[in-house]
Amino acid sequence: MTSCRHCGAEIAGGEGAPAGFCCAGCEAAFHLVSGLGLARYYERRTLDPATRPLRPDAAGPPVDYARHAHMGEDGASVLHLMVEGLHCAACVWLIESVLATQPGVTSARVNMTTRRLVLTWRGGMEVADSLIAPVSQLGYRLMPFDPRLLDAESRQRERELLRALAVAGFAAGNVMLLSVSVWAGHFQGMGPATRDLLHWLSALIALPAIAYAGLPFFRSALTALKAGRTNMDVPISLAVVLASGMSLADTIGGREHAYFDSAVTLLFFLLIGRYLDQRARGKARSAAEHLLALGATAVTVIDSSGARHVVSPSQVALGSRVLIAAGERIAVDGRVVEGAGEVDASLINGESLPAAVAPGSPVFAGTLNLTAPLILEVSAVGESTLLAEIVRLVEVAEQGRARYVALADRVARWYAPTVHTLAALTFLGWLTVGSAPWRDALITAIAVLIVTCPCALGLAVPVVQVITSGRLLRRGILVKSGTALERLAAVDTVVFDKTGTLTEGRMTPVGLEAIAPEDVRLAASLAAASRHPLARALSAAVPGVAPAPGVREVAGRGLAQTIPAGEICLGGRDWCGDTSAPEDGRPEMWLARPGTAPVRFAFADHPRADAGEVIAALRERGHALEILSGDRPAAVAAVASAIGIDRWRADCTPAGKTARLADLAAAGHTVLMVGDGLNDAPALAAAHVSISPSSAADVAQTAADAVFQGDRLEPVGEILGMARRSQRVVYQNFALAFGYNVLTVPLAVAGWVTPLIAAVAMSASSVAVIANALRLNRGRAL
């Protein structure tokens, strides 16, 4: 497989890619570095009839982009589009650079993961078509943004491979049965007429199957050849077409041998590897899309007359007053002007405890209002909110990770030119030096092509990924990314979030046995009337207690019940507690009733049961360990001390976590991030590899490369151990594949291997690779 002249990535022969480059972006970057200049390159690309456009159908059906633009909060026009044809970071650079040269454009940002283009310009929306035209002329296809189309291409590709695999498997089984009959008849006096009939039956089955099942390889090879280059599918297609063509010619001529079984069996094994690889490389929907969904809530705006109007967040003006009902997710950034209560601020600090808000307190899009209605004065909407900033952090991190090149891709770069050269030399050698007839020389060259077909090489990585992922799945660990195992094997530093990751993520009351039972039951009956996390934890700890009647919630303070003797309160220290009592840093609630001293209920988020054991095991393996948490320093220090981690940081924002990971990467560390909160999503995407518990927020699970179930931390150690084992097996599989070629290629070049024997040997090497990978189902993860 040839490499791109700019970025070095393998060139797969994709439609529209310029010769010598994986994409238009790399070609532009190469010429820019060479001194051509972007303007000169763009002028040549769009005006030269030989190169305009890169794809004749790039523009697709006419689209009125102006209809899909809208006015931004600052009066600028904004357009969201999805870009087809992105290959690498150079494509992103080229599109953004070309758009930046257009008059009036103030911002052009492309996310490679979601393929989303956000274009902002000064001026009317009617100029959208002229602004987009240069990108279309470069060969990229743009359409109104639709997240549902993001993975449609990969799903279609997977279905196509599965159908081709089924057809090839059916044909291979039937043709092999007919071949067995021919082999048996050869030793039992079968007549030529019967043999020819069996060959024709084989041709009738094999040729249509080869024409259909070989389409994924033929299309790729033809596209590469049209562009004046080769890829891995060119020698594969040559072997299949030549073997089938020679077999058909021999069948027409009534000759003794035909190799339909070799061609169709070759395709069958190649398609197994291709399909497994496609499944292993399947990507989950971008975490940025899940984050964006948090801001899609309708907003209730209060106008100057006091009337209420429900509008979308993009239509809210700065300075407007909006009503946030209890239980509603906040869709804008703002400041509380009326009301008091508590909001779930886990997006900001990752902690399960809500944050109290009162007039003057800032609140942010994506957080959840828990207790009482609030009226906000809007300070930011849309792309200016904190939620949008977190989205940008995730997008940048995902885009950086997309540049990762898998081991199998790196190994495959040299394959095609080597095989082509070897087969050509074999043909010429037998034709000239060996004085063999051209037909015999061609059959020998076909045998070389079949022997060197990369079935074992193509299976070396996917079969290990599938088997390892299957074992981990049975253990409650879902591996989502095709390159996750390879990246996990290289990890030397493990960074943990605290709440919900090292800890159980839920508050439980402690020391209830030291409190009078009647006080416990009374507090639990009051707590049953509230949705506050601490109240719910207290109520759950005392099952069977009925909710107290007449309980009301005092916004920002707690719960109250009026009785003849006075008022019973359950809430914070400042409202109904003993302010002179010492504090130990734990979350707390106080029960106060007339005539008795206040009673303190303390809560703790306990570490996972096996956290200390897992941390010790990871340290013994040589991993550096660290905690990055948004919680208070005292809480983080207590957990770190309990489980044995020396390095920790508290009060970390999402940006702070990603910055710390960047510092570790710059220092040469390969980092695994383990986190569960909304605020961990950017860090999970930015890390070299990431894991999230199944109890995590949807955004965190999407950003992570693997998700584990259960209340224990053991899966973190297990997936790291299995990743190292799988890496060793991958290297063993490569050794088997190369060793097979070292043994069989000389025999094929010497003419001692027919295409049939070559197909059998190729199949045997594939079976050996699969058998070696199956060992991963046994033994312990090391």
Residue 208 neighbours by CB under 8 Å, 6+ apart:
none
Residue 604 neighbours by CB under 8 Å, 6+ apart:
507, 508, 510, 586, 587
Cβ atoms 567, 594 nearer than 8 A: yes
Residue 697 neighbours by CB under 8 Å, 6+ apart:
346, 676, 677, 678, 681
User: Minimal CA–CA distance to 135: which of 207, 206, 63, 197?
Assistant: 63
Cα–Cα distance for residue pair 298/312, rounded to 1 Å: 5
User: Minimal CA–CA distance to 547: which of 557, 556, 559, 539?
Assistant: 539
Show the tokens assigned to 768: 């050996």
Cα–Cα distance for residue pair 737/714, rounded to 1 Å: 34
Residue 725: is it exposed, middle or buried by C-beta count within 10 angstroms (0-12/13-18/19+)? buried
CA dihedral 187, 192, 194, 199 (to 10 degrees): 90
SS3 751: coil
User: Minimal CA–CA distance to 695: which of 502, 535, 422, 553?
Assistant: 502
Q: Measured over all CA atoms, what is the biggest interatomic distance in the chain, rounded to whole angstroms?
A: 115
542-547, Cβ contacts within 8 angstroms, sequence gap of 24 or more: 542/512, 545/521
Cα–Cα distance for residue pair 724/113, rounded to 1 Å: 28
The residue length of the chain stands at 782
497 is known as an active-site residue = yes
Q: Got the DSSP string for 249-263?
A: HHHHTT-S---HHHH
Exactly one of 497, 605, 631, 680 is catalytic; which is it?
497
Decide the pairing of beta strands 299-302 and 558-563: unpaired
Residue 90 neighbours by CB under 8 Å, 6+ apart:
6, 7, 23, 25, 26, 28, 29
Q: Which helix (H) or strand (E) holds 204?
A: helix 192-213
User: Minimal CA–CA distance to 265: which of 687, 755, 628, 650?
Assistant: 755
Cα–Cα distance for residue pair 776/782, rounded to 1 Å: 11
Q: Which helix (H) or strand (E) holds 524?
A: helix 517-527
CA distances from 106 to 95, 114, 324, 384, 451 (A): 14, 21, 33, 15, 57
List, in sequence order, every residue forming a beta bridge with 708; answer none if it has no partner.
477, 693
CA distances from 387 to 284, 293, 654 (A): 21, 10, 11
Cβ atoms 59, 122 nearer than 8 A: no
Q: Residue 744: phi, psi to the nearest 5?
A: -90, -30
Q: Got the DSSP string for 359-423?
A: TT-EE-TT-EE-SS-EEEEEEE-GGGSHHHHHHHHHHHHHHHHTT---HHHHHGGGHHHHHHHHH
Report whether the peptide linkage leading into residue 53 is cis, meaning its omega lies within 30 degrees of zero. yes
Show the tokens assigned to 52: 């305009």
- Positions annotated as catalytic residues are 497
